[in-house]
Structure 1
Amino acid sequence: MKKIKVIEMGGTISGNGKDRLDLKDYKSGVYNGENFLEAIPEIKQFADVSFESFLLVSSTTLNADHWIKLRKKVMNCLLEEGFDGVVITHGTNTLEESAYFLHLTIPTEKPIVFVGAQRPFTSLSSDAHLNLLQAIRVAASDEAYNNGVLVQLNDEISGAREVTKTNTYRLEAFQSGQFGYLGFIDPDKKVQFYRNPTRKHTFNSEFSSLEIDKLPNVEIVYSYAGATGHVIDHITERKKYRGIITAGTGAGLVSPSEIEALQRATENGLFVVRSSRVGNGRVVPIDSYKDYNFINGDNLLPQKARILLMVSLLKYNTIEDIQTVFDHY
């Protein structure tokens, strides 16, 4: 039986409501491994599981320093303590971001599975119990090896690069856009994968071997009709940032005023990555932008493009090198 470490980071999956109909005002981080094992004794059928509470904070308060601490904890569990896999319980609001950071920076082939819930542990029809059990099953499965960091909710297995939260309260909130899920957990107790990530990650990521103590500051700017570019100028003038991600309209476009502001940003040494706010599709080079020193963000969502730029800047300092990273990760 495989040894699985569950790292508890709070979130709805550990939430306690004032009654069983409380689906919005509950308190997160109340329940822990002892409560989970008592409520879900079936866990013991699938793995030898150890629980540890770690960074019990709301996922909306997490920042890059928390990611670095989590990375060190996961590496210790897998590389030093000899666990066969790790499950991380996490608030759903920023779960996809923590998952993608580890996807880029953990040097392992072993399964790392993020899990959360859309309904608190105490609610009617809570998804917390089964989500946790299924995540442990995925982490203990041979099929999950070499697939990078995974996200499991609602019996659906997603890759950390593509997955995103798409609904505020519905159980099917976590989707992977046009690429779809990597696999599923079905009633026959099988963990079934149908595809694998093709972009570089974990054990074949050049960033997984880096010593990471701090990440550079990168901001996201959301474009819209009539955007003035004032926010971009403010970021540039603050001189505390290394890069800007544009959540552009359509195919990664921004307003004329934003173009001017972004040019001033690049002239001041900031790296600018074009992404799109639409949710699907690649941002590619276009003739009208060929004279600007912008990096094309491929199909990464703005919040994922931000993480990749932050990590890239730990190693590279030219547009050409960083563009190559975005082409392969």
Structure 2
Amino acid sequence: MQPKILIIGTGGTIAGMADDAEKPGQYRAAALSVAALLAGVSGLEKAAAGPLDAVQIAQIDSKDMHDGVWHALLEACDAAMRDEGVRAVVITHGTDTLEDTAWFLHCCLGRLPKPVVLTCAMRPANALMPDGPQNLKDAVAAAAACDADGQPLLREVVAVTGGGELHSARWLQKVHPHRLMAFASGEQGPLGWVDGRRLRLRQGCAADTQGAADGYTGSQWLAALPQPAQKAWPWVEIVSSHAGLRAGLVDALLSQGVEGLVLATTGNGTVHEVLLSAAERARQQGVAVWRSSRCSEGVISDAVLPGPADLAADLAVALTPCKCRVSLQLALVQAQAQA
């Protein structure tokens, strides 16, 4: 029997419903099941070039994403990577925290033996011109894409975000609150493009299929990450450096037991003197403090982040505060597991 593409539903705008189809900005996210989404997209199995299966692991607005859903996603992806009956995974997700989830999976799954493709929508499913059906179809086509030898073209976590653009989780950012093309990858640009049936990778982004199985780390992270229902993941918060800053926020977080701080710095890693003093107090109390930048493009030029080499070595952790927060949280999990 031909292996299937597994589609995992988490909710989001792609599964949303508006009370009035002519007012797509007013809607309820996560109103439809993933099965209902699949039923509404014609030609999906043709795009997959094979069978499809679907599972619902969450049905939430992605602004409310939490560690429990991430753990369930990692479990589902890990099982799929080891299941010979599954050849790829597609995840339907809300746009608000898509880059957070994509980065989390990128960090945990490592080098992929099979594609993991996230997709989303900016309009609800019953809008007059919804974007979700085409995005889902494009995501399935990207997940199904193979080279001349029948090997998957994609070996990293990616996202199909609109207009057929394919973005790497390493650089993906939501850059606009309501336009259909709401995502970008800054200076890096899209990884490729897909039109519902064919994937075209940007020149220089050809798939490297060597050592994919050896680089897979999902099972290791599942062993390290605690079940959120039994034990909370490390508490990491983002504090922005800005004009007129006061130290009270950091002091309040320290008094409540925060375990890690990400400083969303100004420019090339600069920090307000008040926040710099507060961060030093945090370090003296054993709280991990990492830096990111408020800038939407580029990286802090001297960014050398502490923690596991596989997390610190990727400069994308210095791109956005939300990705830096995920990386620090994982570094703290790993440190606790090794203690």
TM-score after normalising by structure 1: 0.85
Kept in 2, the 8 Å contact 1:15–1:30? The answer is: yes
Question: What per-residue deviation string (whole Å, max 9, x for no partner) do you get for residues 22-42 of structure 1?
Answer: 222212222234433432220
Matching residue within 220, 224, 229 for 1:209: 220
For residue 208 of structure 1, report the CA deviation from its aligned partner.
5.5
The 5-angstrom pairing of residues 246-261 of structure 1 reads 246-261=263-278
Q: Which residue is 1:121 aligned to? A: 125
| 1:103 matched residue in structure 2 | 106
Q: Could you say what secondary structure the match of 2:107 adopts?
A: helix
1:234 equivalent in alignment to 2:249:
no
Helix, strand or coil at the partner of 2:58:
coil
CA distance in 1, matches of 2:248, 2:21: 46
Q: 1:69: how far off?
A: 1.6
Q: Percent identity?
A: 30
The runs of 4+ residues in structure 1 deviating greater than 4 Å are: 143-146, 200-203, 205-208, 295-298
1:245 to 247, 256, 262: 262
Cα pair distance change 1:141/1:296, threshold 3 Å? closer
Structural mapping, 1:147-296, within 5 Å:
147-154=155-162, 155-186=164-195, 189-194=197-202, 195=205, 204=215, 209-210=220-221, 211=223, 212-213=225-226, 215-239=233-257, 241-285=258-302
Aligned length: 306
SS in 1 for 2:28: coil
Q: CA deviation at 1:296?
A: 11
Q: Helix, strand or coil for the counterpart of 2:20?
A: coil
Letter in 2 for 1:114: L
Could you tell me which runs of 5 or more consecutive residues in structure 1 were left unpaired when the two chains were aligned: 287-294, 318-329
Deviation at 1:82, TM superposition (A): 2.8
CA spacing shift, 1:84–1:228, aligned 2, 3 Å? same
Deviation at 1:206, TM superposition (A): 5.6
CA distance in 1, matches of 2:212, 2:327: 11
Contact 2:113 2:212 in 1 (8 A): no
CA deviation string 1:73-115 (max 9, x = no partner): 2212332363101111011111111111111112632101111
Deviation at 1:203, TM superposition (A): 6.0
In the alignment, the residues of structure 2 paired with residue 249 and residue 316 of structure 1 have an alpha-carbon distance, to the nearest angstrom, of: 29
CA deviation string 1:237-280 (max 9, x = no partner): 222x2211001111121111111101100000011111100111
SS in 2 for 1:142: coil
- Say which SS state the counterpart of residue 159 (structure 2) adopts: strand
* C-alpha contact (below 8 Å) 2:154/2:207 kept by paired residues: no
Contact 1:103–1:201, Cα closer than 8 Å, also in 2: no
Quickly say closer, same or farther: Cα 1:3–1:44, change in 2 above 3 A: same
The change in CA–CA distance for 1:242 and 1:37 in structure 2 (over 3 A counts) is: closer
Q: Match for 1:112 among 101, 113, 116?
A: 116
Distance in 2 between residues matched to 1:296 and 1:114, nearest whole Å:
24
Residue 145 of structure 1, CA deviation: 4.3
5+ residue gaps in structure 2?
304-311
The equivalent of 1:135 in structure 2 is 139
Aligned twin of 1:300 = 319
Asked if 1:313 is matched to 2:311, the reply is no
Question: What TM-score do you get using the length of structure 2 for normalisation?
Answer: 0.83
Instruction: Tell me: CA distance 1:136–1:2, structure 2 relative to 1, closer, same or farther (3 Å).
Output: farther
Q: Kindly provide the amino acid, as one letter, of the partner of residue 315 in structure 1.
A: Q
The secondary structure found in structure 2 opposite 1:44 is helix
**Structural RMSD (CA):** 2.6
**Which residue is 1:52 aligned to?**
55
Q: Is the 8 A contact 1:165 1:173 kept in 2?
A: yes
Corresponding residue number in structure 2 for 1:92? 95
> Structure 1 CA distance, aligned partners of 2:34 and 2:293?
39
